[in-house]
């Protein structure tokens, strides 16, 4: 959305088309935003729309090969009601902390379909995971030894997968998590020795986990990493103590946040995944192929809503001062992994097109210039009481923000 957009044309980000409008007001879960704000009781809040999450899962099922297992990486959005809903839609839940594990165990997802990844798992977390019977993705040799101790103490056989840090990298990823020196997984070269030790320890080996990176909009780059992951897993499988039953090839499916970014070509990815699936079926028919998706399932289904407190003019520039800000939505402020700040799609939710339009900056109540939700963006002319909506906010929003900073009230969350 550039400032150069003609005043008559509504600047459109694809994200804004995903929600219905009624009388120029955004609708969420078939309710006007103004009414939803009344029922939530106060701003700011996050709202996630069930119908969009369902549509996204249906699209993935229709486009990706049959038999492929979809997992939800719940760090993208750990709201319990949402995770609970997701448990009924996907084939597994991936957690990355004891706290997330607790939320996942409260859903009706079978424990064998819950996996626990992430470096630095504590003995207490490992003991809980062993007792629950979830799959533990081993991130190091030391962790493997500690899991074996936890299993022996409880008289249980821990279920494990081995996370590999491969030699290759995921190209075009917003965040790289494999290739090179990493705190994630075990370097590819050390995997054979670890597999043999794993057998001695009597752990129940299920398979491999290879996750190379996040926020990728290139189907070709993801397809290449997936092909290399399948190839690597098949080459290491003969050295494992038992047959390969699980192969989690990560995810990394990105969503477009900024002007000029294009949505991932899911159809192209589906075609290449069908080839990988066929290859795996032939070489290792018993292996469950898994992709783990976070933001791709939820980012576009969510908005952040805050209220304009004051319309302020400084040296000719308009600032909408709101009750929301970076303490609830660090990513939209540009401080969560961006190198150059860019605007998320933002609009006035109760007057999307509006009559008069103007270029404004949307700021929050924090005493720092970083507290910026939109910088010189064109939107409908707004005043105190109007609702500002930040789109693409269903992932890495509230839980990825420094809520305690400046001691303002927390944001609420609703699933509609």
Where do contacts with ligand PLP occur on this chain (CB under 6 A)?
Answer: 73, 75-76, 94, 96, 117, 211, 214-215, 250-251, 292-296, 395
The answer to whether the CB of 314 falls within 8 A of the CB of 270 is no
Closest distance to ligand PLP from the beta carbon of 298 (Å): 8
By beta-carbon proximity to ligand PLP, the closer residue of 264 and 373 is: 264
Nearer to ligand PLP, 183 or 317 (CB): 183
Residue 71 CB, nearest distance to ligand PLP (Å)? Answer: 8
CB 383 within 8 A of CB 358: no
Nearer to ligand PLP, 15 or 348 (CB): 15
- DSSP code of 156? -
The Cα–Cα gap between 23 and 20 comes to 10
In the complex, least distance from residue 210 CB atom to ligand PLP, rounded to whole angstroms = 10
**Dihedral sign (CA 397, 402, 408, 413):** positive
Q: In 31-122, which ranges are continuous DSSP H helix?
A: 33-40, 50-63, 80-87, 98-105
Structural contact between residues 68 and 90, judged by C-beta atoms closer than 8 angstroms? no
Least Cβ distance, residue 403 to ligand PLP (angstroms):
20
The residue number whose beta carbon is nearest to ligand PLP equals 294
Contacts of 413 (CB under 8 A, 6+ apart): 45, 46, 47, 48, 79, 398
Please name the helix (run of DSSP H) or strand (run of DSSP E) that holds residue 225, with its range, or none.
Answer: helix 219-236
Q: How far is the CB of 250 from ligand PLP (least distance, A)?
A: 6
Rounded least distance, CB 73 to ligand PLP, Å: 3
Nearer to ligand PLP, 251 or 270 (CB): 251
> Nearest distance from residue 255's CB to ligand PLP, in Å?
9
Q: Which residue has the tokens 């494992």?
A: 240
Least separation, in Å, of the C-beta of 164 and ligand PLP? 12
Least Cβ distance, residue 395 to ligand PLP (angstroms): 6
Nearest to 178 by CA among 130, 226, 116, 135: 226
**Contact assessment for residue 385 and residue 308, using Cβ atoms and an 8 Å cutoff:** yes
Of 92 and 294, which has the nearer Cβ to ligand PLP? 294
Residue among 298, 381, 415 nearest 40 (CA): 415
Nearer to ligand PLP by Cβ, of 228 and 295: the residue is: 295
Two structure tokens written together for 349: 């939710």
Choice between 36 and 164, CB closer to ligand PLP: 164
What's the angle, vertex CA 329, arms to CA 347 and CA 325, rounded to 5? 70
Q: Would you say 73 or 308 has its CB closer to ligand PLP?
A: 73
Rounded CA-CA distance 324/343 in Å is: 15
Tokens of 317: 């520039």
Residue 241 tokens, joined: 């103590």
CB closer to ligand PLP, 292 vs 413: 292
Distance from the Cα of residue 396 to its chain's centroid: 6
* Residue 221, preceding peptide bond in cis (omega within 30° of 0): no
């Amino acid at each position: 959305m550039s400032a150069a957009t003609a005043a008559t044309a509504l600047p459109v980000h694809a994200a804004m088309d995903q929600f219905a409008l009624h009388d120029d007001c955004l609708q969420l879960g078939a309710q006007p935003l103004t009414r939803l704000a009344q029922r939530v009781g106060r701003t700011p809040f996050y709202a996630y729309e069930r119908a969009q999450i369902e549509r996204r899962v249906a699209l993935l099922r229709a486009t990706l090969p049959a038999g492929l297992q979809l997992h939800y990486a719940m760090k993208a959005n750990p709201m319990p009601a949402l995770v609970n809903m997701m448990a009924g839609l996907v084939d597994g839940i991936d957690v990355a902390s004891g706290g997330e594990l607790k939320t996942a165990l409260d859903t009706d997802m079978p424990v064998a379909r819950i996996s626990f990844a992430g470096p630095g798992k504590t003995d207490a977390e490992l003991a809980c995971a062993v007792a629950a019977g979830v799959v533990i993705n081993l991130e190091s040799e030391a962790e493997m030894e500690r899991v074996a101790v936890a299993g022996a103490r409880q008289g249980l056989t821990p279920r494990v997968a081995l996370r590999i840090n491969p030699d290759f990298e995921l190209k075009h990823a917003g965040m790289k998590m494999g290739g090179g020196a990493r705190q994630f997984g075990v370097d590819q070269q050390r995997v054979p020795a670890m597999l043999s030790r794993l057998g001695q320890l009597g752990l129940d080996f299920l398979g491999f986990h290879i996750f190379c990176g996040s926020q990728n909009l290139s189907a070709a780059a993801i397809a290449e990493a997936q092909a290399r992951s399948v190839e690597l897993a098949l080459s290491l499988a003969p050295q494992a103590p038992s047959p390969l039953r699980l192969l989690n090839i990560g995810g990394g499916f990105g969503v477009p946040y900024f002007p000029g970014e294009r949505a991932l070509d899911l159809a192209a990815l589906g075609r290449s995944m069908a080839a990988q699936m066929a290859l795996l079926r032939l070489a290792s028919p018993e292996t469950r192929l898994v992709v783990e998706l976070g933001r791709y399932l939820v980012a576009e289904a969510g908005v952040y809503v805050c209220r304009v407190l004051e319309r302020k003019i400084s040296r000719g520039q308009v600032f909408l001062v709101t009750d929301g800000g970076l303490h609830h939505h660090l990513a939209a402020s540009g401080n969560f992994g961006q190198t150059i700040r860019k605007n998320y799609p933002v609009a006035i939710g109760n007057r999307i097109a509006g009559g008069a339009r103007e270029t404004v900056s949307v700021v929050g109540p924090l005493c720092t210039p970083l507290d910026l939700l939109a910088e010189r963006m064109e939107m409908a002319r707004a005043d105190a009481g109007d609702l500002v909506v930040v789109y693409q906010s269903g992932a890495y929003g509230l839980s990825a923000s420094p809520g305690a900073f400046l001691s303002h009230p927390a944001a609420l969350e609703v699933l509609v």
